[in-house]
Amino acid sequence: MKFTVSWLKEHLDYTASLDELSEKLTAMGLEVEEITDRAKELAAFRVAYVVEATQHPDADRLRVCKVDTGSEIVQVVCGAPNARTGMKGVFAPSGVYVPGTDLLLKPTKIRGVESNGMLVSEREMGVSDEHDGIIEMPEDTEIGASYAALAGLDDPIIEIAITPNHQDALGVYGIARDLAASGFGTLKALDTSAIAGKFESPISVALNFEGDDPLPCSKFVGRYVRGVKNGPSPKWLQDKLKAIGLRPISALVDITNFVTYDLARPLHVFDADKINGNIQARLATQGETLLALDGEEYEVDADACMIADDAKAVGLGGVMGGEDTGCSEETTNVFIEAALFDPIRVAVTGRKLGIESDARYRFERGVDPAFVETAMEIATRLVMDLCGGEPSNVVVAGRGPDWQKTVELRKTRVRDLGGVDVPVAKMIIILDKLGFKPVEDGDVIRTEVPSWRMDIDGEADLVEEVLRVYGYDNIPAVSLPKINAVAKPSVTVKQRRVRIAKRALAVRGMMEAVTWSFLPRAHADLFGGVPDEIILVNPISADLDAMRPSLLPNLVAAAGRNHARGFADVSLFEVGSEYHSDRAEGQVMVAAGIRAGETSSRHWAGGGRVFDAYDAKADALAVLAAVGGPADAAQVVTGAPDWYHPGRSGLLQLGPKNRLAAFGELHPRVLEAMKIKGTVVGFEVYLGNVPMPRGTAETARPPLVASDYQAVERDFAFEMDRDVPADKIIKAVRGSDKKLITDITIFDVYEGEHVGEGKKSVAFSIRLQPTDKTLTDDEIDAVAAKVIANVEKASGGSLRG
């Protein structure tokens, strides 16, 4: 909502400064967003006298002017056809910024002739589109005077943000009323006197609805004014509209816009001669069309409130009038409409049709229901003042909505809810000035909600009204009482696991990314796809239309972007949600990461190696271990989802039903589809599947069992089929002596010429740790023999000699 200071002063007597006004508006909840002071911006543009204008020696269209600026005589080359000796114009000296052309003036030579400064047009000053020539000032204008002041531009424009509850402040008068209530100046009374009609309106109005509640149009007030002359509106009106960014059209139309912004009361004017018969408000018929004032043809459904004459639709109630029946320069008889429309229906119609109009904006927030006839009188007076003519009697249909409300405020409520003790007498004064007609009644203050405050519907609203005027800044800040002297932990196990997973992965050298929860559907399809129910209807762009079924695709895409920037080695992770349905259960918390390129860059002591599936496995196990999951007990099986390389990926699980993680190389097909070169490995840990710690939190650790007897290490190497999993060997070894064998390390896996075709050699070492005595050679040999037998049996291989 924009207005100028002088406009406000037409409704409010006050003496405070602009800064004080701005502070007060904000303190009242009418937040000042911007103040534009054109007098300041245009301060350097001053009236100057053209002492002499002569033809430029080398250019037909240019003149060389000697300009008296009041302080000196300067030479200016000017291309305007009206630059001539003895005229007064507006001059901008060198060093000044010219807003209309976005240029900083500098001394220059134009076709060899020196030019210092500029005689400007209105367009160059950015005050209008006028550019037929330079501005001409009246002969008696004082040289050196500020142009902005002379042109009436020394009127700061204030723009305030309007919250949806402040429908009363959508007009300058309402803003003045609110300021006056806070003690900031005195509200001036409006001239609301009735204008006597000279004849009966030839157009009648009717509401034609069946049992609708609330009525789509609850009141329609009309008046016919005959013999008007419609032309450009006077300067004072045009200046107002231009200042707030509206385009003057014609006096009749400008009046409706003025009343809309001045009094928050949208109006419409019909060219009465284009109306067939009478006017009624009714529901539209399905598919009915209207060519609206914005030149667009709209097709509406049966929910829209239509204004129609006897032949056709002439306006969308509360949204926009019709083009065919609008006023033009030729209009001689006008029919003025002031009506009340149901806010919800206006909002629905406006939203469906995509029409953002000043009328809709006000009607959907609520227009003062007790200010319809009065507004008609004000509008009639304006029409008669600006366009002449003779008014009819007012025609009225409907009686408007029931808006009267009584709301009680407990005297203690401002203290208890607002935290500040405002004396009852003070509360009553505040509410009275705001128009609430407060009456003390025992423990409560009873109020009548004014017609312009339809947002007020409860005691809490009155608390806000009192505090708003009393000043939010006067509420003392107090600490919240402590529940516990020392705070208790605030996070759940699940929340803590998310935090720990992040730090565990960062410690492993990975960068934490935060990527969109949505992605291109094509990427989703590469990672298992998503059901239609989680495809966005209105995505921000076509390639962010699906909720992500996995965290990996966004990370892979990010790796691609980093590759393109010249970074080949990428380790990224994210801990966040993936989505599988539109229900809360479909949202799954995952810690996922990818690695591409090499473990480290090339350097003097060697280089990195290419990341492989085992790196991803290590990452997944590290996350499990960090969050307190069963990293050791998890089974490693094949069968990772199909976005992984089928031969180089696996799952970590607790039994076939509880999948803790997937890891491995990503499938080349997926990478190719995402245009990624090289190998990418990745992992996904399903944090929600990690079992919760059992029972109560036990901080004590079990006792340390450490034996001082000599441990023994023995190495073995077996040849076996290539496909035998290492896991099987480890299990066979462990099973050989669960007590003595405390560790097994596979230190070599070899395939090649020294073993048979389709075979491999696996070498490992075991550690035997006795707890009660030193082992004898016989005892060690016995364990070794058992290991050999078990491994040979499990693997089908044989000990290498």
Partner 1 sequence: MQDIEKLEGELLGEIGNITNLDALESLRISALGKKGSVSLMMRGLGQMDPAERQIIAPQLNKLKTTVGDAVDAAKARLHAAELDIKLAAERIDISLPARPETQGRIHPISQVMDEITEIFADMGFDIAEGPDIEDDFHNFTALNIPPEHPARQMHDTFYLPEKEDGSRQLLRTHTSTVQIRTMQSQEPPHRIVVPGRTFRCDSDQTHTPMFHQIEGLVIDKTSHMGHLKGVLVEFCKAFFEVDDVTMRFRPSYFPFTEPSAEMDIKCTFAGDHVKIGEGDDWLEILGCGMVNPRVLAHCGIDPNEYQGFAWGMGIDRIAMLKYGIPDLRAFFDADLRWLKHYGFVPLDVPTLGGGLSR
User: Which residues ranging from 370 to 429 are in contact with partner 1 (CB under 8 A)?
Assistant: 415-420
Closest separation between CB of residue 75 and partner 1, Å? Answer: 41
Question: Interface with partner 1 by CB under 8 A: which range of 46-54, 237-245, 422-430, 537-545?
Answer: 537-545
With CB under 8 A as the contact rule, the residue among 43, 113, 291, 544 that binds partner 1 is 544
Question: Interface with partner 1 by CB under 8 A: which range of 81-89, 136-144, 327-335, 490-498?
Answer: 490-498
Closest separation between CB of residue 724 and partner 1, Å? Answer: 34
User: Rule CB under 8 A: which of 620-659 touch partner 1?
Assistant: none
Contacts of 40 (CB under 8 A, 6+ apart): none
Q: Which is nearer to partner 1, 603 or 739 (CB)?
A: 603
Closest separation between CB of residue 515 and partner 1, Å? Answer: 6
Q: Which residue type does 562 have? A: N
Closest separation between CB of residue 24 and partner 1, Å? Answer: 12
With CB under 8 A as the contact rule, the residue among 20, 310, 533, 715 that binds partner 1 is 533
With CB under 8 A as the contact rule, the residue among 390, 461, 642, 792 that binds partner 1 is 461
Residue with tokens 């006067």: 474
Question: Does residue 21 belong to the site contacting partner 1 (CB under 8 A)?
Answer: no
With CB under 8 A as the contact rule, the residue among 211, 245, 354, 476 that binds partner 1 is 476
Closest separation between CB of residue 565 and partner 1, Å? Answer: 7
Q: Which is nearer to partner 1, 120 or 169 (CB)?
A: 169
With CB under 8 A as the contact rule, the residue among 70, 214, 539, 641 that binds partner 1 is 539
Question: Interface with partner 1 by CB under 8 A: which range of 42-50, 204-212, 326-334, 530-538?
Answer: 530-538
47 within 8 A of 150, measured Cβ to Cβ: yes
Question: Does residue 358 belong to the site contacting partner 1 (CB under 8 A)?
Answer: no
Q: Is 31 buried (19+), middle (13-18) or exposed (0-12) by CB count in 10 A?
A: middle
With CB under 8 A as the contact rule, the residue among 537, 542, 697, 700 that binds partner 1 is 537
Nearest to 410 by CA among 399, 422, 402: 422
d(CA 253, CA 233): 9
Closest separation between CB of residue 231 and partner 1, Å? Answer: 37
User: Rule CB under 8 A: which of 581-600 touch partner 1?
Assistant: 582-584, 586-587, 599-600
Closest separation between CB of residue 715 and partner 1, Å? Answer: 29
Nearest to 578 by CA among 503, 502, 524: 524
User: Rule CB under 8 A: which of 427-446 touch partner 1?
Assistant: none
Question: Does residue 726 belong to the site contacting partner 1 (CB under 8 A)?
Answer: no
d(CA 455, CA 462): 11
Question: Does residue 365 belong to the site contacting partner 1 (CB under 8 A)?
Answer: yes
Structure token digits, residue 627: 């969050």
Question: Does residue 503 belong to the site contacting partner 1 (CB under 8 A)?
Answer: yes
Closest separation between CB of residue 559 and partner 1, Å? Answer: 8
Question: Does residue 305 belong to the site contacting partner 1 (CB under 8 A)?
Answer: no
d(CA 363, CA 317): 10
Closest separation between CB of residue 299 and partner 1, Å? Answer: 20
d(CA 538, CA 545): 8
With CB under 8 A as the contact rule, the residue among 561, 675, 722, 754 that binds partner 1 is 561
Closest separation between CB of residue 91 and partner 1, Å? Answer: 34
d(CA 540, CA 558): 19
Question: Does residue 605 belong to the site contacting partner 1 (CB under 8 A)?
Answer: yes
Question: Interface with partner 1 by CB under 8 A: which range of 22-30, 289-297, 676-684, 793-801?
Answer: 22-30
Question: Does residue 603 belong to the site contacting partner 1 (CB under 8 A)?
Answer: yes
With CB under 8 A as the contact rule, the residue among 510, 592, 687, 741 that binds partner 1 is 510
Question: Interface with partner 1 by CB under 8 A: which range of 202-210, 528-536, 678-686, 775-783?
Answer: 528-536
156 within 8 A of 35, measured Cβ to Cβ: yes
User: Rule CB under 8 A: which of 165-224 touch partner 1?
Assistant: 165-166
d(CA 341, CA 319): 9
CB atoms within 10 A of CB 466: 24
Question: Does residue 473 belong to the site contacting partner 1 (CB under 8 A)?
Answer: yes
67 within 8 A of 91, measured Cβ to Cβ: yes
* Total residues binding partner 1 (CB under 8 A): 104
With CB under 8 A as the contact rule, the residue among 163, 285, 393, 707 that binds partner 1 is 163
Contacts of 482 (CB under 8 A, 6+ apart): none
Q: Which is nearer to partner 1, 475 or 673 (CB)?
A: 475
d(CA 422, CA 411): 9
750 within 8 A of 718, measured Cβ to Cβ: no
Nearest to 797 by CA among 700, 714, 732, 704: 732
Closest separation between CB of residue 493 and partner 1, Å? Answer: 12
Nearest to 320 by CA among 303, 337, 332: 337
Question: What does 324-383 look like in DSSP terms, one character per residue?
Answer: TT---TT--EEEEEEEEE-HHHHHHHHHHHT---HHHHHHTT---TT-SHHHHHHHHHHH
Nearest to 4 by CA among 37, 41, 45, 26: 37
577 within 8 A of 587, measured Cβ to Cβ: yes
Nearest to 782 by CA among 717, 719, 739, 736: 736
Which of helix, strand or coil describes residue 768?
A: strand
Residue 463 vs residues 25, 144, 404, 468: alpha-carbon distances, Å: 19, 54, 19, 8
CB atoms within 10 A of CB 1: 20
Question: Does residue 547 belong to the site contacting partner 1 (CB under 8 A)?
Answer: yes
Question: Does residue 17 belong to the site contacting partner 1 (CB under 8 A)?
Answer: no
185 within 8 A of 179, measured Cβ to Cβ: yes
Question: Does residue 479 belong to the site contacting partner 1 (CB under 8 A)?
Answer: yes
With CB under 8 A as the contact rule, the residue among 18, 103, 302, 540 that binds partner 1 is 540
With CB under 8 A as the contact rule, the residue among 570, 616, 681, 744 that binds partner 1 is 570
Question: Interface with partner 1 by CB under 8 A: which range of 69-77, 288-296, 539-547, 636-644?
Answer: 539-547
Name the DSSP letter for residue 535.
Answer: B
Closest separation between CB of residue 502 and partner 1, Å? Answer: 6
Question: Does residue 51 belong to the site contacting partner 1 (CB under 8 A)?
Answer: no
d(CA 757, CA 177): 96
Question: Interface with partner 1 by CB under 8 A: which range of 192-200, 440-448, 453-461, 680-688?
Answer: 453-461
Closest separation between CB of residue 544 and partner 1, Å? Answer: 7
Question: What does 238-302 look like in DSSP terms, one character per residue?
Answer: HHHHHHTTPPP--HHHHHHHHHHHHHS---EEEEGGG--S-EEEEEPPTT-EEEBTTS-EEE--T
Question: Does residue 26 belong to the site contacting partner 1 (CB under 8 A)?
Answer: yes
Q: Virtual CA dihedral for 197, 203, 205, 208, nearest 10 degrees? A: 170
Closest separation between CB of residue 617 and partner 1, Å? Answer: 18
Question: Does residue 110 belong to the site contacting partner 1 (CB under 8 A)?
Answer: no
Q: Which is nearer to partner 1, 327 or 626 (CB)?
A: 626
User: Rule CB under 8 A: which of 318-357 touch partner 1?
Assistant: 343-344, 347-348, 351
User: Rule CB under 8 A: which of 123-152 touch partner 1?
Assistant: none
Closest separation between CB of residue 487 and partner 1, Å? Answer: 5
